Structures are given as C-alpha cells and as structure tokens.
Structure 1
Amino acid sequence: MGNLTGKVGFVTGGTKGIGYGIAKAFLDQGMNVAITGRTPEGIREAIRSLNEFGNDSAYAIGVVSDVTDYDSQKAAVAQVLEEFGKVDVVIANAGLGHFAPIDKLTVAQWEQTIDTNLTGAFYTLKAALEALKKSKGYYITISSLAGTNFFASGSAYNASKFGLTGFTQSAMLDLRPYDVKVSTIMPGSVATFFNQNEPSDKDAWKIQIEDIGQIVIDLLKMHPRTLPSKIEVRPSKPPKR
C-alpha cells in the first residue's frame, strides 16, 4: 500500500495486547483506526490512550462488538464505514484460550474457544468483505504457533488455531482474484495479558506487541507483486531451561 497516511484499519480485540499494538502502529503511520472490544469501559480506556498517539488527521474510534455474533460484526463494520467511509485493512485479532486435558475440558470452554478464535475470524471477514473488495484491501488474522505445533491440554486452542491458519490460507486463494491480500501471522510467546498473564520485566525475552505491529506495517508496505501469506514469528532468545 506504500504510503499508509489516510488508510483505515479495523482491529478486533484492540483494547490491549497484540490488537492494541497493531492499532498504535497504524496511528504511527497516519492511519485512522477502529478497534473493537466487548465492554464500553475497556474501549474508553484504550481509545483515550491510543489517541495520545494520534493527531488531527489520524485518530482512533472504539466499537463495542462481539466477534461471536455475526450481526454485531456487521454493525461494527457499518459504524467504521459511517465514520471513515472505507476500510482498507482488517485485523482479526480477537481471541482467547482455555487449557485443560480433554477429559477435563468442558463443552462450554470448547465452544467459546472455537466460536471466538475461528468462527469470529470468519464473521469478521464476511462482514467486511465487500468493503475490502472495494478498497482492494488487506485481511490479516492473528493465529499462533499453536496453529502448527500441538501440545497437551491444548485441544481446544490447537483446534481453533490450526483451523484459523487453514481458513486464512484458503481465503487467501479465494480473494487474490479481487486484489484483496490475505495473510496470517503466527506468533510464539508474546508479552500480553493472555491467559491471565500480567506483562512485566519477566516478559522482556518475549515478542513485544510493537514487534507484531511492525510486522503488520511491513506486510502492508510489501511490494504488491509479493504476498507473504503465512508468517511464523518466535522469540529469538527464549530463556534456558
């Protein structure tokens, strides 16, 4: 996309963590940003913080939305279009994890994980697809190395991320004819609030949220003849065991 000034980004789950880092990277590039979250309180705090980085021509708005509800996603996209007139980049970031051995994992935990991490990404793309076709935009999912590396007590999370990776790669093939680019980013350990973690100095060895933001910007500025469709990223120096 070259110069990103004036482009519009839409980030699900953007109130903290990776989504927040990507939204900040967009603002740093002069892009307008819409983030979603499930609570008005979380949205207000994130928007207040993000707009400290914006300016008169680039700013962030927040939309209360639930990615597991298709009508909610359609309403969120409609609100972004009403505010900014277009959508150039969609980041399907909203996600959660329940971790337990299969004999202890509950049906509710399975359904919430799949509905949020996988079905939510589908709803997000489906809701924004016509806008992305019009702008010849970019759709990026935030998967995980758990989408290729399975582990004990991770059946729901692994299934959601394996599925998300496959979904994104198939969508990439479907949407290339419309000049809509599609990629998935698969991070390893990131310093976020995921799974009740509280980011601190102990997480200094991990990927930082601004690193994921930089990867997204690099993708958007890639020469249009080239599409990095699946990007694995991991800490360069994990702690010794």
Structure 2
Amino acid sequence: MDLKGKVAYITGGTKGIGYGVAEALLKQGMKVAISGRKLEDAEKAAKSLSSDDSLVLGLSSDVTKLENEKEAVKKILDKFGQLDVVLANAGLGHYAPVDELTDEEWHQMIDTNLNGVFHTLKASVEALKQSKGYYMTLASLAGTNFFANGAGYNATKFGVVGFTQAAMLDLRKYDIKVSTIMPGSVATHFNNNTPSEKDAWKIQPEDIGQMVVDLLNMHPRTLPSKIEVRPSRPDKK
C-alpha cells in the first residue's frame, strides 16, 4: 500500500496506543481521523497531532452504538473522500474475581471491547471494500493468556481475537486485509495508569504505531493476521 494520501480511522485515538498510531501514520503522509467519547477531547487531540486540519479530524463516537460509528464513517468520507485503514482500538478493563465482578462492569467491557469492534467494522466495511483496505483490531495477550481477576477482560479479548480471525477469512475475498495486534504491557493511561519513567520497560505507543506502519507496508501477498507483541524484558523490580 502506498501510504501517502491514504486515510485512516482510529477509535479511542485521543491518547495512548491510538494516539501513537495516529502520529506514526501522519508521519507516513496519511490523513487520520480519531474518535473518542467526548468531541472536545477528540478535537484537542487532533489539533495536537497536526495544526493542518486538512490532515486530521477529531470525532465524537461511542463505539457501543452502531449508529455513532456509522455517523463517524460518514463524516470521514465527507471530509476525505475515502477510507483505507481502520483500527478498532477503543477499549477498557475492569479486574476483579469473577464472584465480585459486577454486572455493570461485565457489560461495559462486552459493549466496548467486543461489540465495539463489530460496530466499527460494520460501519466501515463497505468503504474498505471500495478501497481494498485494511481493518485492524487492538486485542491483547489477554486474548490468549487467561489470568486470575481477568474473567471479564479475558472473555472480551478472547472474543476480539476470534472475531477478527473469522472476519479475516470472510473479507479477504474482497482484498480487505484483517489483522489483530495483541500487545502485552504498554505504557498507556489504561486502567487509570499515568505513564511515567516506571513504564520505561514497557512497549511504548509509538512502537505499536511502527508496527501498524510495518503491516501496511507488507507485500500484499502476505498477511500477518495475528501478531503477539510483548516487552523484550520484564520489569526489573
């Protein structure tokens, strides 16, 4: 894929991994739309990514609602005329023993982490058919490695991995590529963390950004459909 002038949409793009990917794609000459639940946050992040509003677009979208994602894609097409790359990145986590995990916490994770990736694909798939584009999901090593206190989060990320791999088989006949990226520890604001020097050992958002660029630059005959990535070394405590 010649990246210059291509258009990407990143959900949950106001900070962390989504923001890091947006930075990486802009450096490749792409145009980028990012979404968050609050329009103010999305527009602020978009302006910090680039002062040229012909290159970036900040959108408000709640991925738990299909109509929100359809409206976001419509705005992207109205502004940029095409959509070539989609990263379903929005997600959240609640960690507790299964007997203590609340019904509300369970459904928040299912609605955002799992239903959200479906809504993002459903809203964008026709545009991706037109561009023969690329759809990516941001899963987690929690999508293959279960752990105590992670029943709800594990369930959603196992689901994202399964959904993405099945979607890959469904959509490749349209020349749409589909991949899921499964990071381990990343230095982000996830789960109320504030990134600092203590997170230096972790994967950085820009590392995931470089990975997305590498996937987009892969020869079209080859598809890394499921990518596990982890810190090279554990935390030196």
TM-score by structure 2 length? 0.98
Q: 2:152 aligns with which of 142, 152, 156?
A: 156
Residue aligned with 2:9, SS: strand
Aligned twin of 1:219: 215
> In 2, distance between residues paired with 1:45 and 1:85?
23
Is the 2:34–2:58 Cα contact (8 Å) retained in structure 1?
yes
Aligned twin of 1:99: 95
Aligned twin of 1:183: 179
> In 1, distance between residues paired with 2:9 and 2:176?
15
> In 1, distance between residues paired with 2:44 and 2:174?
37
Give the paired residue count.
237
Aligned twin of 1:170: 166
Is the 2:178–2:225 Cα contact (8 Å) retained in structure 1?
yes
Residue aligned with 2:212, SS: helix
* Superposition deviation, residue 40 in structure 1: 2.1
* Superposition deviation, residue 122 in structure 1: 0.3
Aligned twin of 2:224: 228
2:143 aligned with 1:147: yes
Q: Please give the per-residue CA displacement for 1:116-141, whole angstroms capped at 9, x wherever unaligned.
A: 00110000000000000000000000
Q: Please give the per-residue CA displacement for 1:176-234, whole angstroms capped at 9, x wherever unaligned.
A: 10000000000000000000000001100000000000000000000000000000000
Q: Please give the per-residue CA displacement for 1:145-183, whole angstroms capped at 9, x wherever unaligned.
A: 000000011111000000000000000000010000000
Aligned twin of 1:11: 10
* Superposition deviation, residue 42 in structure 1: 1.1
* Superposition deviation, residue 59 in structure 1: 1.4
The 5 A counterparts of 1:73-92 are: 73-92=69-88
Residue ranges of structure 1 left out of the alignment (5+ in a row): none
> In 2, distance between residues paired with 1:144 and 1:167?
13
* Superposition deviation, residue 41 in structure 1: 2.4
* Superposition deviation, residue 44 in structure 1: 2.4
Aligned twin of 1:72: 68
Q: 1:203 aligns with which of 199, 204, 209?
A: 199
Is the 2:7–2:84 Cα contact (8 Å) retained in structure 1?
yes
> In 2, distance between residues paired with 1:41 and 1:130?
28
> In 2, distance between residues paired with 1:164 and 1:150?
14
Is the 2:11–2:90 Cα contact (8 Å) retained in structure 1?
yes
- Residue type at the aligned position of 2:59: V
Aligned twin of 2:39: 40
Residue ranges of structure 2 left out of the alignment (5+ in a row): none
- Residue type at the aligned position of 1:107: D
> In 2, distance between residues paired with 1:82 and 1:44?
17
TM-score by structure 1 length? 0.96
> In 2, distance between residues paired with 1:106 and 1:119?
18
> In 2, distance between residues paired with 1:240 and 1:90?
36
